[in-house]
Structure 1
Amino acid sequence: MPLTVYSEAGCNGTSKVLKDSEVNLAKAGVKFTIQSAVVDGNPWILYTEERYQGFLAILEEGRYEDLSVLGVPADSKVSSVKLKKESLGNPQITLFNTATFTDESIPWTVLLDSTASKIKCISAGGAGVWAVKQDYTVMYNEGTGHGADGPGSAWTSVMGKMRQISVGSQVVWGVNTADEVFVRVGLSADEPRGKEWTKIDGNMKTVSVGPNGVCWAVDKKDTVWRRLGAKDSNPIGTKWQSVTGRLSHISVGGSGVWGISPKNEVMYRDQTYGLPGDGEGSGWTKVDGMLVSVCSSNDGVWGVSANGELWFRAGLDQGNPMGFNWFKVRTGAEKNIEWKMVNLSL
């Protein structure tokens, strides 16, 4: 199942046949920039960096006379490639309703009518569904979280004003209009709203907590921070630690730590899929696509583009934590919904 790469478009020029399942091109003697390729058999994944970092494209069986046609930037360099080994002898495909991208038995549900109360922020996690109104009032959807199943019964206000919130399995983090950071702990089925907000150090623009309590944040200067020691057994952690890189938005979930750069580039924190250990990771890798908001969850990664379209990242797993492609999600039979954000920390 070889991959043949060429130095010129049209599958011309200098060529190299790659047969190993994982190849760092420099070590394999490929000194030219790849312009075209031929795939025989299973798909190959192309990366911009050595050791299979920086997802660039996936090539299925066929002839690719010009990689730029696939959307690969002209200045991009393929530095490593990997064969997708899964058997293609018994392929399976899941079909969805073309208008909604979901089974019609599970429609999108309006939990809080925007005509009755404008919502500034919403977050869902193991501790339930929470929201922030335009006047910064914090709301909790009764009957959600802590093992409950269903859309909830009623919205009730929670003391304290916040501009943004993030819900974990047993905790809610919040940021007020002065960029002060608060944590609401002690949430349970008996006390689903907890008792009080605890102010902690730091000034942040946005915070995000994962299902195991791992917490990251971004400040107004787009500096990235990680809360040391934060986990379910110690939800507040110890202190903030700055992390290399600049982001305008960040999301922590079962699919790892994802973010949006100030240029709307999608970024993935390497080695954070499944949030192992303290969820620190090892570096940032740029993922294809341009978005204004991203959400990491156990079921995958969701995103919202600048024009309000909703997207879903397919193919994520431990072996390929950045997935393969973005798929546009249609959410309205007559008129597509214009999305502002999507949030789920499960």
Structure 2
Amino acid sequence: MKAVATFLVVLDIFSACHGWTCKAAPQQFPAAQVDAGLGEVVLTDNNSNVFSLSGSSWVELGSVALKHVSVGPAGIWGVSSSNTVYKFVAGDFIPVHGLDLKQVDAGGDAQIVGVNTADTIHCLKSKVASSYEEVGTVSWNELPGSLMYFSCGSIGCWGVNMNFQIYFTKVTPSTCDISGWKNIPGAASMVEVGTDGSVFVVNSNGNIYQRTGISDSIPEGTDWAQIPFCLPIKHVSYDLGHLWLVTKDGLILQCDQ
């Protein structure tokens, strides 16, 4: 850990990446994935512990072990190693029965989306997701297509399939209807959409790209801009101007423009 600490100090002083200035964030080593939304930041570590950032410290969140966690307008949601879906309610995670998922995303307009181990795509209507407050069974809408990772924001939703192809669609929060899939040039292993619609992807080599040209009239954007970095990245999230990164070694970094 001494070598890690030395690296983080050097990073704080020298790191500037394509208009972004990066520094060491508070560490919860080794981190597995991070998600940011509505001013909150949550993460899971390699032992499936869940944490929320409070000031400059990570505070353990709930008592349930989760492999993936997401925060957004519908609250904090996650999935366990057995692919059970959970929502954070009244200080702990409670199970959401009705469907098993390997990844969920809470970043849309209060709807919840996710994918299961067969890469089928699912959506939970905003009214159901927001009002869920006690253990029960809910009905998910299955969406057409096949994805291994799916994420939504205020302007649209983005997914990546097993062939690393990138797709865009719009999801109606109240009905889970979609506008149809549009293939976006590029390749990625995961994609994250900020609450404001900003889009970032990580490819299989650990490189980060930001989607440019996104607007209400062109919600899918126009191009990709690489954000050069000196370490390979495995997970990215964005909120309120802050880019949160987890390196393949489990270090947590925060970048600002």
- SS of the equivalent of 1:161 reads coil
- Bigger RCO of structures 1 and 2 (CA < 8 A, at least 6 apart): 2
For the residues of structure 2 that align with 1:343 and 1:280, how far apart are their CA atoms?
25
Task: Return the alpha-carbon distance in structure 2 between the equivalents of residues 287 and 134 of structure 1.
Answer: 32
SS in 1 for 2:233: coil
1:219-278 C-alpha deviation (Å, 9 max, x unpaired): 000000111344674257941111110001111112311100111000001x34xx6655
**Alpha-carbon displacement from aligned partner over 1:19-59 (angstroms, at most 9, x marks no partner):** xxxxxxxxxxxxxxxxxxxxxxxxxxxxxxxxxxxxxxxxx
CA shift digits 1:204-233 (9 cap, x unpaired): 110111253111110000000111344674
| Aligned residue number for residue 233 of structure 2 | 339
* Structure 1 unaligned spans of 5+: 1-97, 143-151, 186-193
**Could you give the per-residue CA deviations for residues 92-143 of structure 1, whole angstroms, max 9, x where no partner exists?**
xxxxxx952226xxx2232233xx610111111126111111111111111x
Structure 2 residue aligned with 1:131, among 27, 43, 49? 43
Structure with greater Cα Rg:
1
- 8 Å Cα contact 1:212-1:232 kept in structure 2: no
Cα distance in 1 between the residues matched to 2:141 and 2:129? 19
Distance 2:174 2:217 in 1: 18
Partner of 1:310: 208
Distance 1:231 1:309 in 2: 36
Cα distance in structure 2, aligned partners of 1:160 and 1:172? 13
Residues 1:300 and 2:198 aligned together = yes
Percent identity over paired residues: 22
Query: What's the TM-score, normalizing by structure 1?
Result: 0.59
**Residue 196 in 1 paired to residue 92 in 2?**
yes
1:119 to 24, 31, 34: 31
* Residue 245 (structure 1) aligns with: 145
Name the structure 1 match of 2:245.
none
CA distance in 2 between counterparts of 1:321 and 1:231 reads 26
1:293-317 superposed Cα distances (whole Å, 9 cap, x missing partner): 1111215210111111110110011
> Structure 1, residues 149-172: CA drift from partner, whole Å, max 9, x if none?
xxx221111222101011113511
Report if aligned partners of 1:208, 1:252 keep a CA contact under 8 Å in 2.
Answer: yes
After superposition, where does 1:74-223 map in structure 2 within 5 Å? 100-102=17-19, 107-113=21-27, 117-126=29-38, 128-142=40-54, 152-158=55-61, 159-169=63-73, 171-185=75-89, 194-201=90-97, 202-223=99-120
What's 2:167 paired with?
Answer: 267
* Count of residue correspondences: 220
Residue in structure 1 matched with residue 156 of structure 2 by the alignment: 256
Per mean C-alpha deviation after superposition, the further-off stretch among 175-184 and 224-233 is 224-233
CA distance in 2, matches of 1:127, 1:160: 23
Q: Residues of 2 paired with 1:218 and 1:233: CA distance?
A: 19
Is 1:329 the counterpart of 2:243? The answer is no
CA distance in 2, matches of 1:99, 1:251: 27
CA contact (8 A) 1:123 1:165 kept: yes
When normalised by structure 2's length, the TM-score is: 0.78
User: Are residues 176 and 101 of structure 1, via their aligned partners in 2, closer, same or farther at CA, if it must alter by over 3 Å?
Assistant: same
Structure 2 alignment gaps of length 5 or more: 1-14, 241-257
Over 3 Å counting, the alpha-carbon distance change for 1:330 and 1:231 in structure 2 is: farther
SS of alignment partner, residue 182 of structure 2: strand
**Higher relative helix content:** 2
Distance 1:340 1:130 in 2: 16
Calculate the aligned-residue CA RMSD, in Å.
Answer: 2.4
Please give the secondary structure, in 1, of the residue aligned with 2:237: coil
SS at match of 1:109: strand
